[in-house]
Structure 1
Amino acid sequence: MTEETIGRPDVEPDRFAELRTLWLRQGGTPSSLAGLVKSDLRRRFAEGQRPAIADYLEALPDLGADSERMLSLIYEEFCLREEAGEAPDPDSFCERYAPWRDSLASQLNYHRMLSQAVGVPPGTPPRYPEPGEHFLRFRLRSVLGQGGAARVFLADDEELGGRLSALKISSDRGEEPSIMGRLQHPHIMPVFNVVRDEETGLRGLCMPYRPGRPLDQVIRRMEKIPPARRSARTLLEAAAPEDLSVKVEWPGFPRRGSYVDACCWLGAALADALGHAHSRGIMHRDVKPANILLSATEGPQLLDFNLAHDPNAPDRAESALRGGTLPYMAPEQLEAFKDPDRWKEVGPSADLYALGLVLRELITGDRPEAPPPDLPLPRAINDLLAARVDGWPPVRSANPQASHALDSVLRRCLAYHPADRYRSASELSDDLRAVLSRRPMLHEHNPSRRERIRFWFCRHRIGLAVSAALALGTVAMVLVNRETVADSNRYVSLGRVAFAKSENSDGAEKHQWIVESKTAFHRALELDRTNVRAYLGMGIIANAEGNHAAAIRYLSRALQLVQAPQNLSPFELAELHFTLAQARVGIALQDHSQVEPMIGLALEGLDIAAREMARADSDGRNADPDPVRSAPDSRIADPDRVRRNASFESLKAEIALWRVRALVHLAAVSPTSFMERVELYENALQLIDPYRDLLRREELGMVKKLENLVGQRAGTARESSDLLDGLERPGSP
């Protein structure tokens, strides 16, 4: 008996007994039972029968144990009845399945909306200009790429001396220009300006021309080479643009490494880009190979933020299907197309799921399965959801080059529930770089003990070779280990130097210093898990990147370790409490439900920071053993490049300013009375008064507004919000 024999008239009529037997042979899992029932249901409808899921449930009560799969099967029956020409009444249909009535009613309601949106004949497509023609001030040379809703041209900007540009022309709708204008990252394609043609209703996004190939084209160019036989050079050659005079040069790319190393490097760069967008409250929601350009000179570039705003309209689902986006969507994003109330569940982790699928395709060569083009959209979404419940096979089964560590990283990216995935893009980037450098991961566990040992030998092969040559055996290993632990503080020094330089840099140079700083701090923690200053450094970086939750975790760990013998100086303790307070204010700005607890903790931390600064001051201001000042590193050429917080007086002013910021924010969102709000303002002015000479222009303007409000005895919440708008947001680089 096989799955193909079920439902045929020439076999035993008791199909339910057959289903049960076949289900038990396949392992008796809920997933296999649901799959068999769905297959049998479709076959019987194709034969002209009209079975009901209720019949299956009565004969196979195990079906009801999994509510999600049961709901999927009931919905499948409804869709099949519609396709067969019936017009089932949604209310009476829901009544037949009372235990699932509410969820089913919500799903059928959005099913109707989706079906109507897809059934509406599309309007007349816009008439795009052709190569050789002009679009406003641009002369169009050739088509670089095109999709269902836009075309990208190589164009000469005639108002700027014929500068070569990439011009994306589309209908003038959506907020992609304003979204991309807020993003400045070396791995996100920047936008120079926007031009609009009122007559045609078309819009042009002017971007720099960066020769390269989209990732989906790169993947197709590598198809003939099995993934296990590829190298990093394979990816470079596939990414080479048609203009052979442009050489592919990506700083930091593991040119001599394996193909999987190249994929990890690429994934870490894209995770950095997503982390930058997420820190500004922007989610991409359309991460797929076609939206990633491998520029010959700039490396991976994230493109097309067209779905980043208002994706929950039914017509967006249809455009997503046409554009090949649905196969890369996270489960909660697919669920949201069925039930718009669930869009609030679609957060940054949905982008990490999509990036995980992109990396999986790149590593294995297996593209996520897309639904048939003739399948109705509601059923297409349902089928994709069912596939995600079953999970994805390990990447090692398709590419033995992949390590167990990388398999763990991707398994976490592709977890069905958002809470089981990485908490931020920066965590994913950290672990991908750890896999690339054969270091222990910070946020995931490598399940292979043999591989962990192999990676350890890989990292220490030089020291081991020296030990063997000197024939010192165990004694030599002890000496090596002692040197390694001692080197932890040196890596902290290097990390702080790199971060100081990042604060005085811009663009790609700034990003490179940040990466170097993270790498150094990670190395310090690898050598010594109790290094307080390494946790402090990681917390400062996370806060600067806007990842306030990660900053709180790192800094809280540092506080736990301060009680150990490795204590911090008063200056460093002040810096720790100050940065932790910054991160808590950042959380409060992102989530108003957290305002009172977070601001309360932030004010306590700032009080402690102020006390530690006073203690340092009483010690003669000699309590700052900042490794930046004494690091044995020849790259420290200019002492003025040390970050602002490393200055004693500046840190005191920053602490006072952030106490003002916390008090003003509390006044803006807390249900305080008029007089309580004025009292908060007066307290804020007293705190900042001794440090006026150290304030920046915008900060002095904020203080002037406070003085005016107190003088006029005005203190509305709206005025507090206006004050906050004038402050520099916490965590901004």
Structure 2
Amino acid sequence: MIDPGRNDPAQDRAGQVDPESSDGTMPVSDDSQHRHPVDLIAEDFAMRIRQGERPDIESFAASHPEHADILRQMLPSIEAMEKLNVGGTRRDISATTTGALSADDDLSFHCFIAPETIGDFRIVRQIARGGMGVVYEAVQESLGRHVALKVMSWRAADHPSHRQRFQREAEAIAGLHHTNIVAVYGVGQQDDLLFYAMHLVDGVSLADLLAGTGPDIGVDLQNDRQTAAWIATIADALQYAHGQGVLHRDIKPANLMVDRDHHVWLTDFGLAADPSSDRFTQTGEIVGTLRYMAPEQLKGHLDVRSDVYCLGLTLYELLTGRAAIQGTPAELLSAENRRRIAPPRSLRATIPSDLQTIVMKAVSEDPTHRYATAGEFRDDLQRFLAGRPIAARRVGAMERSWRWAKRNPGIASLSGTVLVLLLSVITLLSVINRSRTRSLTAIGKAYDQAAENLRQRSAALDEAERARESAVRERSRAETNLSLALSAFQEIVDNVAGRTGVAESVWESVGDDLMRDADSGATLGDDDVQLMENLLQFFEKFADENATDLRMPAADARRSIGDILFRLGRPDEARESYDQAWAIYSQLRGEDEGDAVDSTVPVESPIAVAWGQMRVAAALRRPSDVRAWLQRCRQWCFEGQAKPATSDLTFLWAKSLRLAGSLTLSTEWMTGMRPSTNGPGPGPDSLLARLMGESRRRGPNRAVAQYRWHQQCSREAIQWLEVLLESDPQRKVYAQTLAAAHQDIARQDRMRRDEAESAKHHRDEAIRILDDLSKRFPDDPDIQYQFADTLASAAIGDSRPVAFSRASDDLRQSIRLANELVRKYPDSAEYQSLQASVQMKLAISQYAAGRGDRAQDMIDESLVTQRRIVQQHPDVPMFRVALAQSLWSMADLQRRQRKPVDALRSINEAIETLESDQGGRFGKVRQAYLNQLRQRRQGIQNTLRPSPLRDSSGNDASADAAEAATP
């Protein structure tokens, strides 16, 4: 409780309960100048006991018949209290009162005499009085601490309901543990006295602050934010109490205390109740302080929203300096008086509008319009303090009208009827006026129309001419913009889709079956894929909307979409797009009956579609479709003649043949390819040799026949390209394509043990052609790249050490070319990848030839480069394949050197490199390659058996360099 720190009567009065006390007792009169007769009689009775006499209560009552009833009730209690103080210092009865009593005061309380000690507590002074008891400052002797001791008055103790209420208050506070609720230290009873000890608050009540009678503790009531923060804190304490099943029922400024640290406290739970109890509200019982009661509380019905209402009235009073509800006790009992609460800003304009909105919501007459809980009240105040939007909304004019209508249904009904009649009259007059205005306007328009017709006719021809000229200009502008858009689109697609750039030497090592499955989007990063996805969506819409008038651009767009889809690894969708483009080209070229022939359609366009369909067919394992589309290419190129009519058509046909031949390893019979277990790097399995042997024993094998068809395409492509190159030796594209065709056959023949000479012949031809081109066009990076790649690829072949030795010259020349490309184009990851791959092959070759003095440095340098490329381009899967291939090659070399632990470490890094690729567009290839790597790892692990010749690292110490180079 509060320790106001004052001794004069005026200060003591400030510590009393509010005049409108919670149990209905009347206020202490400040105007009485004489003591009540009963006060004097009680003092005389007490003095006689102190002098050792034993006065008779009935004699005192008979001597004063006008006060007999009161004396019979009061004197036994005084007698009991005096007996408690036998041997101690007594207090004068006048010291316990807070002032003179009026003749109408309830003397049963004010004549209460305080003992010197109560239990373990020594009374220091009186702090406050209430209808239920007296609050003293006391010292708890056993602990030496100051406490607030509330003692129940003797008359209140005579009533069981009052004793229950006093006990309920103690129990309610004792069960609450909150930083802003006064804590109870203990409850006790001495003879007929009930009491409990509480925390002593050194401060002042908000009622004293409002009255200006309390001590100065440095509080400014004009600080609205501080006031809002106090009420938010009390709302939090109330929310806690409600959560514990306790209603306060008497929230008012007198029951809110502020200590000298400006910490606010909730006190006086004398009317607290459990809302779940059946005795919570009694019929006709009105509890609380009239001025702060909620409307429903006047009717004996209340819940947590009633406490919210009382707290809202307290906030209102703190903000405005006056109580929200004014009047006499009779007027305070009127519900109408609570409907006329003036907005706080009407009393003090500086109050923030949001704070006014919060207050008015809290003190709404209808409980459903208030905050549902004290927690919601607290949260809205905290939003206001934080400068955030509040949850409460201002009541608008419409809602105020609706509430007024509910309160005054008769007047509202009459007003509504009058309003409807008024609106009806206004509407009728408006319709009549509008009709008249419309008639006058029609007459005027008819007159003006005659003159306007003549003017319009004269201007019609001029307008038509201007419209025609504008249409011509707009059409020209639209065609120009369309052309620019199509050109830009094709340039982007060509730029992105053309960046496959993975060295063929890498594919040679991995295996062509994996190469063809992974070639779509091999070096397209995530950004490239997203770009092509967006372009795909745009041109799908564009082609659909313009297919009628722009068939040729639409067909080109469909073809480009097919290229994009194929590179995105969606062959089925790519085939649909190619089919649409082919249908448009065929229609424009007049292949459908009744169609007009458009000779402006270049033959390259449908041929490009056919190439796309061939790639799709190969990816989907449909060799018959590859042949069918090659036949269509022939029809477009030959145009019914014995041979193509022009060199361009001849070149298109040769490229078509070369493409068909290069798809050899994409057909279904090559799915058994896996790396060799003998060479320094993976190579073709003996599957083809077995197939060839079976074909000789059991007749033509379908797979072998398919292989031979593809090789025949490559050979026929070479024949046509040689004719073209002979007729125009300066066309480098002819020579480049011819070299690629020779390299295709070399790769095909290397798969057959009985075609070694043919493979060597075609490899040498490819190298010869590219060597000549490299000298003629030294600044062409595409030619230099193809030459270096071919040299490195050609050097793979036979896996024996002597073969690697013969390939050293090719590898050295390849590394020189790759180094020069990297020097000129240092930012090209493709050139760096080629350089590192060739460097690895050269190092392996030197090991195989017994010259491993610098080979290890080259291997380390190659791996460092490839690891850096993978780190810089993590979303390009084939850079991971190149690194994994190099690690695989090194693992095979270490295995042959009898270093199985080192080999296992290398093969594990290769597996981790591929497993870390989660891009999704390389799934099938990655899984196939991982399976091969895991098989190789299992083989190495099987060799790691205990051996007396194995050193501490797990490697075989008996192997020398020459033995290590032997496969």
| Structure with more relative contact order (C-alpha pairs < 8 Å, separation 6 or more) | 1
User: Larger Rg: 1 or 2?
Assistant: 2
Please say whether Structure 1 and Structure 2 have the same fold, judged by a TM-score greater than 0.5.
no
Q: What interval of TM-score do these two structures reach, taking the shorter chain for normalisation?
A: 0.3 to 0.5
TM-score by length of 1: 0.35
TM-score by length of 2: 0.27
